[in-house]
Amino acid sequence: MNARWLAVDIGNTQTVAGLYSVSCTPSEFRFHLEKKIRFRTGASATSDEWRSQCSPVWNFDRALICSVVPALHGTLSEALSDRAFTIIDSNTPRSFELALPHPEQLGADRLANVMGALARIEPPFLIMDSGTATTFCLVDSKRRYIGGAIVPGLETSFSALQSRAARLFQVELIRPESSVGNTTELQLQSGLIQGTEALIEGLGDRLLRDAGPEFSGARRLLTGGCGHFLRLPASIEFIPDLTLEGLLHYGKELTRHA
């Protein structure tokens, strides 16, 4: 089957949509990104507004969506009423297990990240997603999501800092070369960006240690909209479109189960 699939990652702050040409047959699964767009997530957007924002990538046969904004789900259903679409959740067919007491609580973007990572590498591994929140997901050698951590993301931390500190001002999110800033602007940039880098490395180390000996040599993957701000060790592989790729692999699973 040759088709165009639209993969959409709806976050609290931004939405990313990728239009892919896909070849999905019993013997192969290939995809190629044709176009990607990014826009601010509007929880109160109408179906017409949402379609307008997605107009550059609207030439598709099927949509696969992960969303952490439940208020938009009715809007999405209306906007996509004339297309085949799936909004991913914990009940959607997948190729891994959720070893959690409340699997329905896991964000759909994290589900997509795990699906995308499993299509690339063998577990165990740790996925780190730097967006509105910075999330950490651990998958063991039995392809089970076993847990992780959530901390405020880079931009969220800055917004919170500004809202509570009247003397701070808007700065551009540029990574300073040194962690030692000699102006308020440079100190903010250092704390925000290099502080996030240190958090990702340090909490990643702690999670792998606490997860047990199985994870001692686990690979680390980084994704998320803030990932391009960060400079991390070469042992952490940055995959900007991991979430969108995971949605495509969800589409492959759905095709197989149809």
Between CA 22 and CA 232 the distance in angstroms is 32
DSSP sequence for 6-31: EEEEE-SSEEEEEEEEEEE-SS-EEE
How many CA atoms, within 13 angstroms, populate the side-chain half-sphere of residue 129? Answer: 26
Q: CA torsion angle for 161, 163, 165, 166 (degrees, to 10)?
A: 150
CB 117 within 8 A of CB 128: no
Between CA 208 and CA 220 the distance in angstroms is 10
From 109, 129, 140, 241, the catalytic residue: 109
Between CA 89 and CA 106 the distance in angstroms is 8
CB 80 within 8 A of CB 48: no
- Euclidean distance between the first and final Cα of the chain, in Å? 13
Cross-strand bridge partners of residue 150? 135
Active site residue 210: no
Q: Which residues are catalytic?
A: 109
